[in-house]
């Protein structure tokens, strides 16, 4: 038996979020969230969409972000999921392959990688201010 994801109509989602339907339609437009539409044009949202809307509500209502600031914050959060292996690859791609690295070198590289990630996050936070 194939299991379907739970879907919500706009009214159900609005009730769960504690906002009016027009707010969801507005956020959908502002944050480029594409809902599934039935043949009749009814909007349907899944659990992933629900999480996005809850995060948007938290940023706007609880944390006091503007729409622009919330968009930037969501971009920062999305960038946090950028695989560290890709960053490490980008940092080391110009190194000759024949050089043997000691455990100390690996630790230094790891710390340098963490510093780069923190610097990027700091720059994005400065943009929000």
Q: How confident is the model at residue 127 (pLDDT cuts 50, 70, 90)?
A: confident
What is the SS3 assignment for 48? helix
* pLDDT tens readout for residues 14-72: 999 999 999 999 999 999 998 888 889 899 999 999 999 999 999 999 999 999 999 99
Contacts of 80-83 with CB under 8 Å at 24 or more apart are 80/121
Q: Say if pTM beats, i.e. exceeds, 0.95.
A: no
Every domain of the chain and the residues it spans: 1-66, 82-129
Mean pLDDT, the chain, integer? 78
Bridge pairing between strands 7-9 and 36-37:
unpaired
CATH number of 1-66: 1.10.1660.10
What distance in Å separates the CA atoms of residue 46 and residue 48, rounded to the nearest whole number? 5
The whole-angstrom distance between residue 49's C-alpha and the CA centroid of its chain comes to 12
> Where does residue 2 rank: exposed (0-12), middle (13-18), buried (19+ CB within 10 A)?
exposed
- Specify the pLDDT at position 14: 96
């Amino acid at each position: 038996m194939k299991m379907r994801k739970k879907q919500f109509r706009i009214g159900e989602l609005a009730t769960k979020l504690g906002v009016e339907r027009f707010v969801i339609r507005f956020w959908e437009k502002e944050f480029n969230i594409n809902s599934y539409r039935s043949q009749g044009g009814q909007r349907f949202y899944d659990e992933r969409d629900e999480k996005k809307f809850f995060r948007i509500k938290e940023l706007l209502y609880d944390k006091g972000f503007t729409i622009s600031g919330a968009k930037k914050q969501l971009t920062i959060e999305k960038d946090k999921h950028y695989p560290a292996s890709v960053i490490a690859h980008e940092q080391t791609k110009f190194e000759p392959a024949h050089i043997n690295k000691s455990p100390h070198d690996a630790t230094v590289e790891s710390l340098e990688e963490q510093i780069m990630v923190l610097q990027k996050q700091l720059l994005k936070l400065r943009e929000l201010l």
